[in-house]
Chain A
């Protein structure tokens, strides 16, 4: 048995299982609610129940007062749903969030291309002639047959493109990506669910943007860049894009062309393991090193969007912060897994 949990002011609805706490459901859906002790003592996670019945669980009488219970407050870390719920949490309203509804979309694989030895591009034509509305940077869940289940992929194409493009890196031993690489054929029927995620460009801030992408993390930044350029965004856009070697550096030519065509777009490719003596004349090293050199260690005044493997993200965050760009201007795509939710983290940062 599960219930619907709507979180205001985001207006986003997520599933909450019987016995699952509101906090857990929100975090797993990628929605950060402030929290600390996680067992009903500190009151950091206090939220307002606007509609529906909850069970207060183990909330301490000193952390959640009687008058607050009467006012409909609860501690998200202990409260469980008895009903469909609407809660209001202290989350900043995001002027750039379109809060698009999540739907199921059926379609057909129109083509599959090999982008690098490890990455395939997958184009899906949706049955709905209007396609799917999404914000550049968001992701979808792709349903796979044979009991594999669904897998999350960021959309690599911009919202105006007719088809939904996904770039899939093969995970050694991975069932889902293995299926896509080895068995999926053009003409297969597929279903995707989305759009998901709160990773999109804060256009309303009107400041220069910096994208840092590595590995298979190029999809969201590519979608965002194509979208920005298409709508005539006129502030500087920089893409620092890293792969191991030249073979893996997919869409390199396309970005060179974009940079030639748009004077406000700068493209900085970096290769970390390119054999010495090869023809590569660009930066050799990691994404964070390339960015530090390109920006001369001063990132002030921009907003940065990070996408890639966890180690790359961590190095980039440290580099940005030591180059004077801080949490309020750094955005990363967060897939919070059950393991992440239990990891010991300090309360120093909320979103990075």
Chain B
């Protein structure tokens, strides 16, 4: 009788090749330029797609298995969180503002990234690239969903969570991340990879996720910690895809260098601006803080980013143009942003508040050169106004930056007492900018940015015609519930009452 020999198991490498690269084919009844119409117009020259490296060698069958188990674990914890009234375990209800901003401003970005990668999986000709983009598209949609599901428990009890999608589209502070993702999604495939794969996943993810998830852990929010862990196991793959794309472009042709440099300049600055929201959350909204925004940026931005730019210098890439301005903004940005949020608090779907004495002591310790000198006096003044029964509110419509779309509330890089405004005339119209970085981005592609939709302007247009109440309805903001000062809010009262019920016999 013949010996039966067990079939040799395929090695990871062979299996990966069979399930990815070998699935590609050469089109015969259309030429490649017709099949992949967007891959050349950005000017990136590619000579050999086979040189694209796939460091993870993950095949679709294995991918489903991993993600399925992650989902099971995630939803088990989310269910437990709901059943055990996990919402009462957070430090106090001020923490909810951080969650609301995350849900309104960041989670929709994950969804946009999902849409973008689905498109890139179609537009890149290389098979390795297609597979990696496909997986990342599904990851990003999963991230958006798990975040929404995790936070939906809070929506049962608190205000400001219910209309995150409307907020994403129409709220003035959400247009910052929205314009970032809209800009990326309407770019060509290679630029999209720099925007999301490099800027968002490498430069920003650590700053966004690590401090935010640690913040959640410090403040007793298991649901958020869990989606953080569940997402972080995908991030290494995402970061690698972005970096692989940069290496690939730079190695394929020397003509790609200036194009890539320009994108790095642009997307570093756009990313830095986006982080203004996150930094403000870290410095002002976490009842129990992990580290200051400045400390986080020193570790994850300067140290890790610095290491990356040192390595990229071997290709001839220099640090992004806005690097120095970003450094100068470190000690000011979050304070200026929080002041802006506070003075427009009638128009935010979360609560803000005047920092307590204890908070201010912490801020002056973390920002010894700036807080006491420039920002504490303003808070003291605002506090006085409030005590006098005339709380400070800015009812004017702020000048918006045409690029990043936020009010021009930041100061000159070298003078923290002068607001930074830039103007450009283009085709007879005047456009405004918050910084040199945003102005430069506009000047490279004016035709793109003049089409930007700045939703805050809608307040003076028909049919709102300047009616604040109608505007609130339009952005799905419940006046007196979702907005305003934390002190005296329904969220504050309810949390205290429910927590008392849970921890005493009253």
Contact = CB atoms under 8 A, between A and B. Distances in A.
A140 B315 CA distance: 34
B150 to A, nearest CB: 14
Interface string B299-315: 00001101110111111
A42 B201 CA distance: 13
- Size class of the B contact interface (CB-based, 8 Å): 20 to 34
B57 interface: yes
Nearest to A44: B236
B311 A346 contact: yes
A318 B314 contact: yes
Interface stretch (A152-160, A170-178, A319-327): A319-327
A42 B228 CA distance: 11
Nearest to A41: B232
Interface in A293-352: 317-318, 321-322, 324, 326, 344-349
Contact of A62 (B229, B306, B316): B229
Contacts of A249: none
A347 B239 contact: yes
A62 B315 contact: no
A60 B229 contact: yes
A344 B303 contact: yes
Contacts of A348: 243, 246-247, 308, 311-312
Nearest to B229: A62
B182 to A, nearest CB: 28
Interface stretch (B65-73, B429-437, B470-478): B65-73
Contact of B233 (A42, A322, A349): A42
Contacts of A347: 239-240, 243
Q: Is the interface of A mostly helix, strand, loop or mixed?
A: loop
Interface residues of A, number: 27
A43 B66 CA distance: 12
Interface string B25-42: 000000000000000000
Interface stretch (A63-71, A99-107, A143-151, A198-206): A63-71
A37 interface: yes
Interface in B307-337: 307-308, 310-316
Given A344-B307, A345-B307, A349-B311, A41 B229 contact: yes
Nearest to B56: A44
Interface in A211-242: none
Contacts of B306: 344
Contacts of B262: none
Interface in B261-310: 303-304, 306-308, 310
Q: Is the interface of B mostly helix, strand, loop or mixed?
A: helix
A90 interface: yes
Interface string B231-252: 0110110011001001100010
Interface in A29-51: 34, 36-37, 41-44
Contacts, number: 75
A326 B214 CA distance: 38
B57 A90 contact: yes
Interface in B52-91: 55, 57, 65-66, 69-70, 73-74
B450 interface: no
A329 to B, nearest CB: 11
B489 interface: no
B12 interface: yes
A66 B70 CA distance: 10
Contact of A318 (B65, B69, B313): B313
B411 interface: no
A37 B304 CA distance: 12
Contacts of A42: 232-233, 235-236
B233 A43 contact: yes
Contacts of A322: 314-316
B254 interface: yes
Contacts of B243: 346-348
Contact of A65 (B69, B235, B307): B69
A113 B336 CA distance: 70
B152 interface: no
Contacts of A90: 12, 57
Given A65-B69, A346-B307, 7 more contacts: A62-B74, A65-B70, A324-B251, A324-B254, A326-B251, A345-B311, A348-B308
8 contacts: A37-B236, A41-B229, A62-B74, A65-B66, A324-B251, A344-B303, A347-B240, A348-B312
Interface of A: 34, 36-37, 41-44, 60-63, 65-67, 90, 317-318, 321-322, 324, 326, 344-349
